[in-house]
A = this chain, B = another copy of it.
């Protein structure tokens, strides 16, 4: 680890007596974003926010921290991953764990009856990081949620379509949406003989089936969570079912136990409706109805889903690799990317907040989807870099001055004046921060910025009120450019840029 002494105060006199130790790093599970990574990530944000707007979404922004009590009791076993702020007097606060709970708080607090909102922002989880898999402690979520009372499965189908449109528009086509229904899952647990109060903890055991084989999960259900062998086996029969919406729907529709279970049947009839809408949106082929999907969060009440790709699963020899890992700081060697987008229906969360605040009870059903940008980034980075040489800056024009001799000033204030004219016209413009710079240094700086055009102040030409406009780049090396009137410079530059 890098660690050394830090001058504790900028004042040099004090620094000598007062040295502090400092590690020059970002906190565990976080990183700086810069250069082309930043350009790619911004492009992902832009694609997704355009998608959300395309579906009528409006955006909101909530604080990074919430009152701790707002987050309490929403995340099941994962609550231990919440970052708390130190008690420095005043309110006790925690960093947000997701954007869903703050959204429900916002809807309840402002008595909102319906909204389609999107929110792109950072969330925080004190989890084991796996940085190269895009699993971080500080990461972005890009959420789209629909709140309001609507007909069964209508917003749900659109949210699933948004999931498909989002991933495909980011160039990811080889994904599956694993989908299940909490009511069907609850029905299955009832059928298997799980008591109501045990349902969530058995559900979170089942949720591990994407990482662990059934035998391990079964052991957790029986030994750790006190269910009978028979109950576990019954659960095992159901959770191994998966296939298209239609296939699994048909199997369950012929299952005597399901037919006799009210909860399961209610979920199953919603699935039947969803099939029609999924066909209208042509998204059926992306969906795998998978009864092993449980999702950890407490607040889901209906459809649940997550998008996975080949990279989502851990390597097959994960447990071997884990043993060999030299550090437990980062799990990238032995975990998968996990789900790259996920969500579900949560019909009680807003009302929970409304009642808790003394407002009158109002059911505001909600459903949403969250895209995991860093995980998606880890999948598409390679391709994005290959596809396009990303321009390092937005700079369009480099203002240069060429001259020499004893009386040569370097025309710095003059370059500044020309730059100012171009800025005022909205044109991205730079020049080197040097009174006298030789042509080579100026061309090098322009090349580094990736800009296509130079405006050159020649020592004599400038005195005659003329500026030279020249294309940059290897293929224009022999081209001397065009000499134009100084007062026409903005027009000429705009014209040349429009031709590029």
Chain A residues engaging chain B, CB cutoff 8 angstroms: 2-14, 18, 20-28, 30-35, 38, 41-42, 50, 53-67, 69-70, 72-74, 83-88, 90-91, 93, 95, 105-106, 108-110, 122, 124, 126, 138, 146, 148, 150-151, 154-155, 157-158, 161, 165, 196-197, 199-200, 276-277, 279-282, 298-299, 301, 346, 348-349, 352-353, 355-359, 392-395, 412-414, 416-417, 420, 423, 426-430, 433-435, 449
Q: Does the CB pair B90–A28 fall under 8 Å? A: yes
Nearest to A137 among chain B residues (CB) is B63
The reply to whether B28 and A91 form a contact with Cβ atoms under 8 Å apart is: yes
Instruction: Report the Cα distance A294→B169, complex, angstroms.
Output: 51
Closest residue on chain B to residue A41 by CB atoms: B61
Whether B4 and A54, one on each chain, are in contact in the complex, defined by CB atoms closer than 8 angstroms, is: no
Return the chain B residue nearest A103 by Cβ. Answer: B32
Chain B minimum-CB-distance residue to A356? B6
Task: Kindly provide the distance from the CB of A10 to the nearest chain B CB, expressed in whole angstroms.
Answer: 5
From known contacts A56-B449, A298-B9, A413-B280, infer whether A109 and B25 are also in contact, taking CB-CB under 8 Å.
yes
Q: In the complex, are the beta carbons of A33 and B61 less than 8 A apart?
A: yes
Are A4's CB and B433's CB within 8 A? no
Q: Is the pair A413, B277 in contact by a Cβ cutoff of 8 Å?
A: yes
Question: Given A86-B85, A88-B126, A126-B88 in contact, is the A353-B277 Cβ separation under 8 Å?
Answer: no
Copies of the polypeptide in the assembly: 2
Whole-angstrom CA separation of A393 from B13 in the bound complex: 57
B38/A358 in contact, CB under 8 A: no
Partner of A9 from B41, B65, B73, B281 at Cβ < 8 Å = B73
Query: Could you tell me if B434 and A280 are in contact, using CB atoms closer than 8 angstroms?
Result: no
Question: Quick check: B281 and A154 within 8 Å, CB to CB?
Answer: no
Asked if B24 and A38 make an inter-chain contact with CB atoms under 8 angstroms apart, the answer reads no
Q: Which residues of B contact A151 (CB under 8 A)?
A: 433-435
Q: How far is A7 from B282 in the complex, measured between Cα atoms in Å?
A: 39
- CB-based contact A428/B53 at 8 Å: yes
15 residue pairs from A and B, CB less than 8 Å apart: A2-B358, A4-B358, A10-B301, A10-B346, A11-B197, A22-B356, A24-B105, A26-B63, A27-B93, A33-B60, A55-B428, A56-B449, A85-B86, A161-B420, A280-B416
Q: How far is the CB of A203 from chain B (nearest CB, A)?
A: 10
**A355 CB, nearest partner CB in chain B, Å:** 7
Determine whether the beta carbon of A22 is less than 8 Å from that of B165.
no
Q: Is the CB of A5 within 8 A of B109?
A: no
Question: Looking at the complex, which one of B14, B63, B393 makes contact with A32 (CB distance below 8 Å)?
Answer: B63
Q: A21-B356, A55-B428 are in contact. List 20 more A-B contacts (CB 8 A).
A: A4-B357, A5-B355, A6-B353, A8-B73, A10-B298, A10-B348, A22-B67, A25-B109, A26-B62, A26-B66, A34-B61, A53-B393, A55-B423, A56-B428, A56-B429, A65-B138, A154-B433, A158-B433, A276-B413, A277-B412
In the bound complex, do residue A83 and residue B88 qualify as a contact, i.e. CB atoms below 8 Å apart? yes
| Cα–Cα, bound, A28→B92 (Å) | 10
What is the distance, in angstroms, from A164's C-beta to the closest C-beta of chain B?
Answer: 10
Q: Are B6 and A69 closer than 8 Å at their CB atoms?
A: yes
Q: Which of B3, B63, B70, B73 contacts A30, CB < 8 Å?
A: B63
Please determine whether B279 and A70 come into contact, CB atoms closer than 8 angstroms. Answer: no
- The 4 lowest CB-CB distance pairs between A and B, nearest first, are A6-B356, A24-B357, A150-B433, A30-B63
A291 to chain B, nearest CB (A): 20
In whole angstroms, how far apart are the Cα atoms of A151 and B437 in the complex?
11
Q: Which chain B residues border A86 with CB–CB below 8 Å?
A: 83-87
Query: Cβ of A124: which chain B residues have Cβ within 8 Å of it?
Result: 64
Q: Which residues of B contact A356 (CB under 8 A)?
A: 4-7, 20-22, 24
Complex Cα gap A427–B56 (Å): 10
Q: Which residue of B lies closest to A410 (CB)?
A: B151
Q: Given B2, B33, B59, B154, which contacts A412 in the complex, CB threshold below 8 Å? A: B154
Contacting residues, chain B, for A56 (C-beta < 8 A): 393-395, 428-430, 449
What CA separation (Å) do A349 and B6 show in the bound complex? 11
CB distance from A448 to the nearest CB of B (A): 10
